[in-house]
Amino acid sequence: MQVRGYYAVCEELSIAEKLVRGGAAILQMRAKRASSRELVALGHELRALTREAGIPFVVNDRLDVALIVEADAVHLGQDDLPLAAARRVAGGRLAIGISTHTPAQAEEFARAGADYLGFGPVYATTTKENPDPVQGVAALAEAVRRAAPVPVVAIGGITVERAPEIVAAGAAAMCVIGAVNAAPDPVEAARQIAAAFR
């Protein structure tokens, strides 16, 4: 799975369509309050959308749902299934991304075999309950260096204005949620994030 560009995250089809139209290179389903049944139904809808758009589809946290809806990857947090166990269950059918919150964690999980890494929060964020400590751009650059060649996706408080700093730090992709999903024009906001990688 190629990890490069604007990494979009959503929990409903209507916003997903706008993010894809705006140039999302990857789409992740993250719906923390949805039931398993609701996740599978939404996952099938988003899988169809991403297939049509020709971009990878990622399921957050739920390895079982990712396998059921034939996602390209599952993204796991530090409190989810251990990487080695997830790899055994996935059996090569999914790429596996891991959330990391320090450069040392990024290096650890890169060496452990993660296919890509999330890193953050780079800046203060309001889209996550109980966020980890802010890391900053310098720590992002260090995480990129220590994780190489495993791609790093920057996340946390990223805005259109901050996007060039993220690219300059060497991130392969950036996950922008609030500044795009809640923008007056999500399609245009997505386009501006995607453009940072051109």
Enumerate the β-bridge partners of residue 117.
98, 152
pTM of the model: 0.95
Which residues are known catalytic residues? 30, 99, 128
Separation of alpha carbons 1 and 40, rounded Å: 22
3-state helix, strand, coil split of the chain in percent (to 5) is 40, 20, 40
pLDDT above 90 for 191:
yes
Residue 165 CA to residue 163 CA, distance in Å, equals: 5
List pLDDT tens digits, range 32-46: 999 999 999 999 999
Distance CA 170, CA 115 (A): 17
CA 159 from chain center: how many Å? 15
- Which structural domains are found in the chain, ordered by start? 5-195 (3.20.20.70)
At residue 51 the predicted structure's pLDDT band, cuts being 50, 70 and 90, is very high
Q: How do residues 71-106 score in pLDDT, each as one tens digit? A: 999 999 999 999 999 999 999 999 999 999 999 999
